[in-house]
Amino acid sequence: MIFNIITLFPEFFESPLKTSLIWKAQKKNLIKINIYNLRDFTKDKHKQCDDKPYGGSAGMVMMIEPIYNVIQKIKETQPDTKVIYLSPQGKTFNDKKAEEFSKYNSISLLCGHYEGVDYRIVEYLVDEEISIGDYILTGGEAAALVVLDAVSRYIPHVVQKDESVKTDTFREYLLKYPQYTRPPQFKGMKVPEILLSGNHQKIREWRYKKQIEITKLKRPDLYKKFLKKRCKSESSDTRN
């Protein structure tokens, strides 16, 4: 899969993309990451990519021309790329959306800055707006890393054990079950006996029960979705 990151600050990505699973995935050719510096696509002699907004307002707005130019450049070799604008006005990014994005051959992540982009970019050049949460960042670069990381996990073999992705937090609207490792006892704090029993069926049952309990306690919003889906599934089974 190809990730294209369109940014005013390419240096932001120098260290993060050379660490952990993302770096290993690139070395294995499971993913390819291209960084496009917007300043290389402007005709302005000072490499300016922003200007004052029409109508007057505080701050600056990213100009349409360099963004149009870079998208056209990408589409010369990746005509089917999905262009994503990282914006606080977008749909909230979640696990389901990450899995959806992982099915594309190419996605292009446009990092906003200042007061945002010329709105014609949203109207005519972007396929989708995505927000990683209800807060404002200094720029879209951090959001692009979040999306890249979450999507990459769904690409086969990026995570060493693909099965771990299927059982992770947010699958089926449930948070992940508690995890423990050695030693079995530490200063009076013990690992639950069931996990030491070797009875894998009982362990699976315990974990599922804990997922439900933790979700109900920590994320009642997700718990309601889980109950709704389970009721719908049970109703369907009854009709069959």
What domains, with CATH codes, occur in the chain? 2-152 (3.40.1280.10), 167-239 (1.10.1270.20)
How much is the pTM? 0.86
Tens of pLDDT, residues 72-101: 999 999 999 999 999 999 999 999 999 999
Which of 123, 213, 113, 152 lies closest to 25 in space, CA to CA?
A: 152
The pLDDT, as a whole number, for residue 163 is 59
Split at pLDDT 50, 70, 90, the class of 227 is very high
pLDDT at 156 over 80: yes
Split at pLDDT 50, 70, 90, the class of 192 is very high
The pLDDT, as a whole number, for residue 234 is 80
The pLDDT, as a whole number, for residue 82 is 98
User: Which positions are annotated as active-site residues?
Assistant: 88, 115, 153, 168
The pLDDT, as a whole number, for residue 67 is 98
Interstrand relation of 185-186 and 189-190 (parallel, antiparallel or unpaired):
antiparallel
